[in-house]
Each structure stands twice: as structure tokens, then as C-alpha cells.
Amino acid sequence: MELILLGFYVLALSVLSIFGLYGLVMVITYLRLKPSDPQLGPLLPDSELPLVTVQLPVFNERYVVERLISAVCELDWPKERLEIQVLDDSTDDTVLLSQTVVDRKVAEGYDVKLLHRTNRSGFKAGALKEGLSVARGEFLAIFDADFIPSSNFLRDTVPHLVGDPGIGMVQARWEHINSDYSLLTRVQAMALDAHFAMEQQVRNRARVFINFNGTAGVWRKSCIIEAGDWHSDTLTEDLDLSYRAQLSGWRFLYLNDVTVPAELPAEVNGLKLQQFRWTKGAIETAKKHLWRVWQSDQPLLVKLHATVHLTSNVVFPFILFIALLNLPIILIKKAHPELDLYYNLMAIFILASISTFLFYLVAQRDIRGDWKRRMLLFPVFMAGTMGLAVNNTKAVLEAVFNKKSEFKRTPKYNITKKEDTWTRSLYRFSKISLGTVIELLLAFYFAVGIAISIWLVEIAALPFQLMYLFGFGFAGYLSLRHAWARG
């Protein structure tokens, strides 16, 4: 039995190490492939600019919908060449607010239309699909409710599509309007910065598949149609369409220097909901497309990167598995000191952790002047990733076993400065989930494990145990605190 447990532990550590070392591959690729400045298309006079449709998928966003519509109406693009669709599936008074803002903007001369559905069929994908069917624009820009595009967004993106008919989508980098609101938002900012500044940028440089991130991007309408339109059979309709389009021969472009600020979830239960959707949707998309990727005539490099891209979320069950096995493995090692393999395995895992550190370090250095200060949060970020293992493992298992679930949007509260609060919001979470209870139990488990490790003088195990303790404890504590918070 002891050897079986050790074998499973070896397997789990190996999987985490493989995905961890992929970060080193990304760093090497980043350093090896210098960025090439994408050439803008011809600078056309305003009278010759293409018609652009801006789609704003909205669902119960009473706190930010006016901000969104107002920002889009400030885009530097001729009014007669700009169509705005507010795709509002709301079931609360958001639709009334949307209509009020739309009426005001129409009176100001903007081409703004409110498309309100009452059945919410297909969720966000269904709303985008229905909007596409009546969109007049040759190109379609998409912004979620929490984004605030700058006025020059279309000027910075659309010319790339005009100048190169082979480009099907242009993606901008996300920025954050509330990254310094709390420790929770600072950690999220670090994760998203790494995705964009490293993953998206490196894949774009290496000419492998990247993905539309669901917002802050511009599509060529013909690309969407030729790729089969929006599908709602996964929770990540953006990732799904991205792979269908690129497998059909379309190229994507990522612009690291074009940014669109957005609001990060300030409440941990909303973050968990977002992470659950992203994790489950990615695995669903992997099941749908990974075989097609390997059956395609794409280069081997594209296939390998796509495999890691689509399957990276499988690490969460292994993180949880290692957490549960940590204490038994320590006891096995103490009972069998001849098993030096334990230390060797820890060395491999540490190497993968260093690789991950370099991955985030390079990302922060690329886009943040205060990157040294920000990297002090890396241990907190790693612990936080561990703390999400319960939530995200559930997402992975549901995807693997084909359990379907509805698209639940992440609530936005119009949090832009430290004194803002979400505790009086109608959308706040007030229930305590089973996952939160499990997180708190795991925190207690590691508190006991730390005491046993100190008693057995197994000092090498303490750093990881402390990170697990902080990760599960932080996730569970914040979930309780935010559920019970009152304005």
C-alpha cells in the first residue's frame, strides 16, 4: 500500500512538473524570438473607413452598463461607420437602464440598438450569434460589461484587419482599473498579466494558436461565419471559436501594446465562479478540438503548444491529490528512511517551481515598471493557486464526465477605487458552498501536518505545507468573510 501511494505521488508530481517546466519553454521562446512590430494597414480617410459593429453582451449589470455604453460611444470612429449593439439578456432592471442610456445616445446621433432576449438561449454565445445575424459591420468589436475601451481602440486594431485579409481576429491586452484594491485583486492582476504578456505574446511570436479572450478584441465577420459561428456547447465560447477559426486557416494577431482596462472581481466567490467557468470550459474545448488539432496538417510545434494550452487546467486535480497525500508520504518516509526518492522528487518539483517563478518574473518585467515590488507577491500567488484547487478540480471533473452547467456570469460592482464597496450590491453572494467547507477542512489538515512535520523534524516539507495552509485557509476564510459581509 505504501508503494502504491508513493507511486501515485510520483505520478502527480511528474504531471505538475511537466506543466511547470512549460513555463521555462515560454521564457526561452520569449527571449529567443524578438517582437516584430505588426504593420498597420493603410491609413484611410474617415469617409473610407469600414463599418464596425461593437457588440456589448450584458446580463444583469446594473452597476456598470451605463459606463460601458458611454465609453463605447466615445470611440474615435465616424458615427456613420459605427454600429453599437447592446445585447442585453438581463432579467432585472438592467434592461431599463440600458434602454434609457441607448435612447439618450440615439438622440445624440449614435447608431445604438438594444437587443433584449427573454429566453437567454445559448447564454453569451447565443446573444453574440443573434447579434451577428443582424450586424451590418464588416468587423465586430466585443466588450464585456466590466471593460472600458479607450477612444483610440478601433484606430489601433481595425487597420491590422484591413491591411491583412488573412487575419481573422485581433486581441488586445487586458489592463486593470482596480488591481490595487486588495490582495485578492493584486494576485489576479499578476495571473492575467502573465497570460497576456507571456502566453499570448509568446504564442503570437512563435506563430502557434492563440485565443480570443472573450472581450477586448475585434473579429472579421467573415471569419466567424466561415468558422461556424458561435457555439454554446462549452462554457468558453471564445476559446472554442478561436480553435475552429485557426483550424480553418485563419491567423490571429495579439497586440501587447494595445490595452483595455477592466474591473477585476473584488469578491472571492465571484472569482471562484469565473475560475470555474474558465477551467471547465477549457477542458470541454480540449475534448471537442484536441483530436482535430492532432489530425490536422498543422506543424508539430503548433500541436504541442495547443495541447498544453487546452489541457493545462488538469493540474488542479493533481494539486489537490498531492495535498491529500502530503502527510501520508511524510509518515512513509519517516518509517522507511531508505526511500530517498522522496527528496529527489521534491528537487524536480522545486525546479518546476523556479521555472514558474521565471515565467511570472519576465511577464511582470515586460509591462510593469514596479515589477520588483509586484514579484514579492509571488509566494502569495502560488498559495492562492493551490487554494483554488478544490473549486477548479470540481470544474475539471464536471467537464471530463460531461456534466453540463449554465453560463454564470461574474458579477461586477463598479469597483474602481479603494473606498468603493460591493457589500451592498444586489449581486453579492450570501451562501456558503460545500467547496468552502472542504477548503477550511484542508487548512486544518495542513495545520496538523505542519505540527507533525515539526515533531518528526521533516523541515523540508514545511515550505509547501505552509503554502497549502495559507492557500486553502485564505480561500476558505475569504469565502466565509465575503459571504457574511454586510454594507
Q: Using DSSP, state whether 172 is helix, strand or coil.
A: strand
**Domains, the chain, ordered by start:** 2-31+313-484 (no CATH), 46-267 (3.90.550.10)
Reading the chain (487 residues) residue by residue, the pLDDT tens digits are: 777 888 888 889 889 989 999 999 999 999 998 777 677 777 788 889 999 999 999 999 999 999 999 999 999 999 999 999 999 999 999 999 999 999 999 999 999 999 999 999 999 999 999 999 999 999 999 999 999 999 999 999 999 999 999 999 999 999 999 999 999 999 999 999 999 999 999 999 999 999 999 999 999 999 999 999 999 999 999 999 999 999 999 999 999 999 999 999 999 999 999 999 999 999 999 999 999 999 999 999 999 999 999 999 999 999 999 999 989 988 887 777 766 655 566 666 777 889 999 999 999 999 999 999 999 999 999 999 999 999 999 999 999 999 999 898 899 999 998 888 988 888 888 788 999 999 999 999 999 999 999 999 888 789 889 999 999 999 999 999 998 876 5
**What pairs with residue 84 in β-bridges?**
54, 112
User: Following DSSP, what letter does each residue of 84-153 receive, concatenated?
Assistant: EEEEE--SSTHHHHHHHHHHHHHHTT-EEEEEE-SS-TTHHHHHHHHHHHH---SEEEE--TTB---TTH
Measure CA 176 to chain center: 13
User: Following DSSP, what letter does each residue of 241-270 receive, concatenated?
Assistant: HHHHHHHTT-EEEEEEEEEEEEPPP-SHHH
Strands 82-88 and 111-116: parallel
Is 111 a residue of the active site?
no
Is 238 a residue of the active site?
yes
Q: Which of 390-414 are b and which e, b meaning 16 or more Cβ less than 10 Å from the residue's Cβ?
A: bbbbbbbebbeeeeeeebebbbbbb
- DSSP code of residue 370: T
Global pTM? 0.95
- DSSP code of residue 81: G
Among residues 146, 156, 193, 238, the one annotated as catalytic is 238
Locus of grid cell 506543424? 299
Asked if 210 and 308 touch (Cβ cutoff 8 Å), the reply is: no
Question: Max CA-CA distance within the chain?
Answer: 80
Asked if 359 and 24 touch (Cβ cutoff 8 Å), the reply is: yes
Among residues 88, 89, 156, 240, the one annotated as catalytic is 89
